């Protein structure tokens, strides 16, 4: 297993739309293991392949307090989103130290493949629903700050660029 480099906003590669995975093979399973290790080390509760500069539709999530309930989703697709939305504070491993309020659907249904390549469908609410929507956005080339005002985005972009130059 290996820790992967997480792209930081405003890296333009974060806006790349990920391509579907044609076959769930050993390479994809290794990617999932590496992404999980990277997510846990960061530490975070979700990571999309786009964030580690792999532009395939793969994401890992673990919203458990015990950090031992990893879920991997390949070619995830939101098939239902509730009309009821709820604002919540979000952060992102690609935008470290920045948190802001984003409006998300309260309940969702997700269809995807698991690590074995088998079709799965789950209904989610709460933190899991938020995390799934956040990671699917990444696979679609969208970062949570894209939901914020242009002024807030500009301030975040400036702050992130200053941090990058300070390193």
Residues marked active site are found at 135
**C-alpha count within 13 angstroms, C-beta hemisphere, residue 77:** 10
Q: What is the CA radius of gyration of the chain?
A: 15
Asked whether residue 165 is marked as a ligand-binding residue, the answer is no
Strand order in the sheet with 119-125: 46-48, 58-61, 71-81, 107-113, 119-125
Tell me if the bond preceding 102 is cis, omega within 30° of 0.
no
Neighbours of 96 (CB within 10 A): 14
DSSP string, 88-139: EEEEETTEEEEEEEEEEESEEEEEEE-TTS-EEEEEEEHHHHHHHHHHHHHH
Q: Which residues are annotated as a binding site for Fe cation?
A: 92, 134, 138
Q: Which residues does the annotation place in the binding site?
A: 92, 134, 138
């Amino acid at each position: 297993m290996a820790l992967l480099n997480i792209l930081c906003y405003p890296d333009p590669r974060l806006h790349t739309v990920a391509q579907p995975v044609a076959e769930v093979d050993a390479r994809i399973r290794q990617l999932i293991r590496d992404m999980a290790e990277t997510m846990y080390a960061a530490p975070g509760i979700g990571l999309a392949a786009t964030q580690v500069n792999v532009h395939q539709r793969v994401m890992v999530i673990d919203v458990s307090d015990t950090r031992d309930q990893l879920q991997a989703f390949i070619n995830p697709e939101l098939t239902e989103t509730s009309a009821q939305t709820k604002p919540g504070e979000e952060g992102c491993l690609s935008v470290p130290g920045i948190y802001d309020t984003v409006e998300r659907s309260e309940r969702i249904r997700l269809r995807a493949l698991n690590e074995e390549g088998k079709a799965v469908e789950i209904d989610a609410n709460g933190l899991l629903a938020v995390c799934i929507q956040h990671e699917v956005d990444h696979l679609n080339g969208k970062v949570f700050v894209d939901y914020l005002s242009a002024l807030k985005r500009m301030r975040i972009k400036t702050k992130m660029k200053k941090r990058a130059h300070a390193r």
